Amino acid sequence: MSLIFDLARGMLSRRRRQTLVSVMGVALGVAFFIAIASLMRGFQTYFIEQVIDVQPHIIVKDETRRPLPQAVEIAHPEGAVALSGVKPTERVRGIRNAAEKIAILEGIPGVFSSPILTGQALLRYGSRDVSVSITGIEPARYRRVSNLEKDLFQGRMEDLRSTANGLIIGIGLAQKLGVVLGDSIIAVSPKGVSLQMKIVGIFRTGLTTLDNQAGYTLLKVNQILQDRPNVVNQILLRLDDVTGAEPLARQIEARFGDRSESWEEQNRNVLTVFVIQNAIMYSVTGAILLVAAFGIYNIISTVVFEKTRDIAILKSLGFTEGDIQWLFLLQGMIAGLLGAVLGCVLGQIMIEGLAQIRFQTETPAGNDRFLLAHDWRIFAVASFFAILAASIAAVVPARRAARLDPVQTIRGAA
Amino acid sequence: MNNATPALLEAQHITRRLPEGVTLVQDASLKVERGEFIAITGPSGSGKSSLLYLLGLLDRPTEGRVLLEGRDTASLSTAELANLRLARLGFVFQFHFLLPEFSTLDNVLIPIRRLGRLKDSAARTQAMKLLEALGMAEAARKLPEQLSGGMRQRAAIARALANDPAIILADEPTGNLDTRNAAAVFDIFARLAAEEGRAILVVTHDAELAKRANRRIHLVDGRIVSDSRAG
């Protein structure tokens, strides 16, 4: 084994420059893959982290996935019954037995829950009207499922409790209305309830929709504003283990019947985009590696052609076809390995370079640079595929070498 | 001859025909015993090299069979033949065919390491001993391109001897050497046969050198026309 390795190394060293060119081809493929993958993975991870960070991991809503079944459908589940023009009964919307459900959910280890009531309202300050979405929260519970507290840059969450009709709004909204901390404004709900509210906090999340359109008040206050006493229309859940969100959401929905959406379900469209993005990335780098593989094929073919005599003598000495095939396959693998190592170094340099770039414009999230993932797995995957591609490229010339007839060669040389 | 001990190497009515219909060797039979130094002669194109390749298990006869130490080789796989060559046979060709990237010593070590019977240090000792016996101790660390033609061929002989083979097969080993070096190579062969009991088969077109062998086989048109022992 070590003999074949020594022979392979010796043969490759003869064609140093040509070997270097093929190795560089592999190295570039690996380096680009690493740089692009780090870039994409970095962005995707950042995005998902933002999503996980900003949004609750599961939202239990006061809806069902399908319309509630009618009595006749329950009575004849298999029957050919069609109903049309059903007039739904007026029922109080909201999650039924919310307190009970919360108690059950809180019983699950690693799960925090918070009931909220969301609703629309018009904020009026002077002559300005802005329509906003108001969320009624219980600060003690809500701080465990959201980052609102972290995003507050003026005021405190506790002030919601200590101030009558306290309201926390986004920075964009505050600017639109022209209000500052401590100002009083009028909130009017679609039900016609009007409340005088006091700004007790201003937050900035970096997400424009939230900063421009969201407001938070006490759950009780919003229930009065929306004229929906004791109603909770969503339960937000936050999990210690975000990967468990989807299965847990399914369990909750199966048990309570309330529509439960995990963060994955809510962001499915974006996550699908990521899948496509990754597919594009893999095909591009796959193409680069394919080109690199041709380089390897070329060098191994050349060596086989040049080493016809050496192959003949090795075979006459008693090397089997398997030995010879392995000898040239190993050369491809060595070239692939060198390319992979060099590519990892180059890739790291490219990452460092990209990390130095600063953008003039400030993105909403407050980033002015590329978000790069530093993941050893990217290096491992790139190296693995480089060596694999190089090995596959070497198979054809290696097989040709293995099948060379030593008699023909020796006769030809004489 | 005692039937209980089979001949070292035996060819029974072997014929080698190319697919295109050309006959290289026609119905050749011979037995090779230990310690024999055999010269195979004949005009060019008479099939002497082809006969040597058949006897050396590098090629397979289209008819007849070759027995090595009483064992029929016809049924053996290509890999099994390779292993037999590695352990029992040694080849020397007109061109030295030393691997250019490796030192003389490393070239001699290749078959020893491939066979894998000796540990690294023992293998090196063995290779050095072979080179010393051929007066090549100083050339051990040199690359083939740094050696003279005669030295290269002696290095090739050392490599052929690496695994202590029973039979050495040489195809025009002196074809590229001057008279003095050619004589030296034949001296080595004579010694290997006489002192170490190896069978030596040498294909040569040099009649003077052939006289130094103790048995001469003459081929014409692929047929053995004479097989004479020097008395």
Per-block mean pLDDT, blocks of 10 residues, chain A (414 long): 85 82 88 88 81 82 78 76 74 82 88 92 91 93 86 89 92 92 93 92 87 93 92 90 86 88 86 87 83 86 88 91 92 91 93 82 60 83 89 92 87 65
Answer yes or no: do B58 and A406 touch at CB < 8 A.
yes
Partner A contacted by B141 (CB < 8 A): no
B111 vs A318: CB contact, 8 Å cut-off?
yes
- Residues A288, A301: contact at Cβ < 8 Å? no
Q: Are A331 and A8 in contact (CB under 8 A)?
A: yes
Task: Give how far A329 is from chain B: nearest CA, Å.
Answer: 18
Distance CA B184, CA B196 (A): 17
Chain A residues with beta carbon closer than 8 angstroms to that of B123:
none
* CA distance, residue B225 to nearest chain A CA (Å): 23
The confidence score (pLDDT) of residue A67 equals 73
What confidence tens digit (pLDDT) does each residue in B4-44 have?
A: 678 899 999 999 998 888 889 999 999 999 999 999 999 88
Reduced to 3 states (helix: H, G, I; strand: E, B; else coil), residue A48 is helix
Q: Is B82 on the interface with A (CB under 8 A)?
A: yes
Asked if B86 has any chain A CB less than 8 Å from its own CB, the reply is yes
Rg (Cα) of chain A, in Å, rounded?
33
Q: B218 by DSSP, 3-state: which?
A: strand
State residue B231's pLDDT score: 54
Instruction: List, as one string, the DSSP characters of A220-289.
Output: HHHHHHTT-TT---EEEEEESSGGGHHHHHHHHHHHH-S-EEEHHHHTHHHHHHHHHHHHHHHHHHHHHH
Asked whether A41 and A375 are in contact (CB, 8 A), the reply is yes
Task: State the DSSP code for A87.
Answer: -
Chain B residues whose CB is inside 8 A of the A320 CB are: 78-79, 82-83
Q: Is B57 helix (H, G, I), strand (E, B) or coil?
A: coil
Are B79 and A322 inside 8 Å of each other by CB?
A: yes
Helices in A307-375 by DSSP H: which ranges?
A: 308-317, 321-356
Nearest-angstrom CA–CA distance, B200 and B221: 23
Prediction pTM value:
0.71
To the nearest whole Å, the CA of A344 is away from the closest chain B CA by: 30
d(C-alpha A126, C-alpha A202), whole Å: 19
Tracing tokens 């001990």 back to the chain, one arrives at B5
Whether A313 has its CB under 8 Å from any CB of chain B: the answer is yes
Return the pLDDT at A65: 77
The token pair at B22 is 């050309």
| Alpha-carbon gap: A278 to the closest alpha carbon of chain B (Å) | 45
Q: Is A196 exposed, middle or buried (0-12, 13-18, 19+ CB in 10 A)?
A: exposed
**Residues of chain B neighbouring A312 (CB-CB closer than 8 A):** 97
Q: Specify whether the CB–CB gap between A189 and A226 falls below 8 A.
A: yes
Give mean pLDDT, residues B172-200: 89
B95 in reach of chain A (CB within 8 A):
yes
Confidence of residue B174 (pLDDT cuts 50, 70, 90): confident
A321 neighbors B78 (Cβ within 8 angstroms): yes
Measured CA to CA, the distance from residue B103 to residue B106 in angstroms comes to: 5
Please list every residue in chain B whose beta carbon sits closer than 8 Å to the beta carbon of residue A12: none
| Chain B residues touching A324 at Cβ < 8 A | none
- Is A313's CB within 8 Å of B99's CB? yes
Q: Taking 70 as the threshold, does the pLDDT of residue B67 lie above it?
A: yes
Do B101 and A319 count as a contact with CB atoms less than 8 A apart? no
Residues of A in contact with B62 (CB under 8 A): none
Tokens of B33: 């015993």
3-state per-residue secondary structure call for B122-157? HHHHHHHHHHHHCCCHHHCCCCHHHCCHHHHHHHHH
Interface contact A310-B97, CB threshold 8 A: yes
Q: What confidence score (pLDDT) does residue A37 get?
A: 87
pLDDT of residue A363: 54
Tokens 């119905």 belong to: B27
Cβ–Cβ under 8 Å, residues B30 and B227:
yes
Q: Which of B24, B76, B97 to mutate to test the interface with A (most CBs of A within 10 A)?
A: B97
ipTM of predicted assembly, 2 dp: 0.90
Dihedral angle of Cα A44, A47, A50, A54, to the nearest 10 degrees: -130
Of B230, B204, B188, residue with least CA distance to B42: B204
- Cα dihedral value A303, A309, A315, A320, nearest 10: 10
Q: Is B165 on the interface with A (CB under 8 A)?
A: no
Q: What residues have CB less than 8 Å from A47, skipping those under 6 apart?
A: A270
Distance from CA of A313 to the nearest CA of B (A): 6
Interacting residues of A379 by C-beta distance below 8 A, sequence separation 6+: A34, A344, A347
Burial class of residue A19 in the structure, from the number of CB atoms within 10 Å of its CB (0-12 exposed, 13-18 middle, 19+ buried): buried
Distance from CA of A334 to the nearest CA of B (A): 17
- CB contact B16 to A (< 8 Å): no
Would an 8 Å CB–CB cutoff place A314 in contact with chain B?
Answer: yes
Q: Please state the rounded mean pLDDT for residues B221-231.
A: 84
Amino acid identity at A247: P
Q: Which of residues 69-108 of A touch B (CB under 8 A)?
A: none
- The minimum CA-CA distance between B203 and chain A, rounded to whole Å, is 12
Average pLDDT over residues B59-74: 91
Q: Does A310 touch chain B (CB under 8 A)?
A: yes
Q: What is the pLDDT of residue B3?
A: 55
Chain B residues with beta carbon closer than 8 angstroms to that of A306: none
Whole-angstrom distance, CA of residue A406 vs CA of residue A311: 7
Residues in a beta bridge with B224: B219
**Is residue A327 classed exposed, middle or buried when 0-12, 13-18 and 19+ CB atoms within 10 A define those classes?**
buried
Torsion, Cα A79 A83 A88 A93, to 10 degrees, reads 50
A322 interface with B at CB cutoff 8 Å: yes
Cα nearest neighbour of A308 on chain B: B97
Q: For residue B1, name the pLDDT band (cuts at 50, 70, 90).
A: very low
Q: Does pLDDT of B85 surpass 50?
A: yes
User: What's residue A367's pLDDT?
Assistant: 62
